Homo-oligomer: A and B are copies of this chain.
Amino acid sequence: MDKYEEKTISGTTIYEGKIITVRIEDVELPDGNHAKRELVKHPGAVAILAITSEGKLVLVEQYRKAIERSLIEIPAGKMEPGEAPEVTAVRELEEETGFGAKKFTYIQSFATSPGFANEVIHLYLAQGLYKIDNPAAGDEDEFIELIEATIEEAEELVATGKIFDAKTAFAVLYAKDLLNS
């Protein structure tokens, strides 16, 4: 049993959408008391730290309705049902950037908002990049602009808040360590 496990006593599904499912669960705490947990279920996602042969990071800018602003992020996307994360990595890199990569290396996975959501992002390193002639198109409701940035430029984008999401902030620090070692 996991430490301090909270056992589900009952639950209700509030909403089942295209991307998220929202559930309210009544749980039993380690001391026997009960509490209510508000939970968002998400299929999980993959993000790709793609580095060109010139040592530049491949980034994408897109509007994020949830926070009502555009963000510059590393390429990322949701896993399709039954899709292995390494397959998502190849697909999303092509769809969002038009790049293929000779080498994908798994870096690590992390939960983005474990306080209320089960979203896990699997982070891959993509190297040996090449332009795909006729890349597959992404989702028709996604408008994405491609950006290439040196580590110094990426750090400046973090400092000025244009890079503002946790996975990309992590990836920039990781890339800095990688390229300096």
Contact = CB atoms under 8 A, between A and B. Distances in A.
Interface stretch (A37-45, A51-59, A85-93): A37-45
B108 A113 contact: no
Contact of A66 (B4, B29, B39): B39
A143 B38 contact: no
A6 interface: yes
Interface residues of A, number: 71
A118 B145 CA distance: 22
A174 interface: yes
A170 B166 CA distance: 8
A19 B22 CA distance: 13
A15 interface: yes
Given A19-B38, A114-B164, 13 more contacts: A3-B63, A4-B143, A5-B63, A15-B22, A18-B36, A19-B115, A20-B40, A29-B141, A33-B141, A66-B118, A71-B114, A117-B117, A170-B170
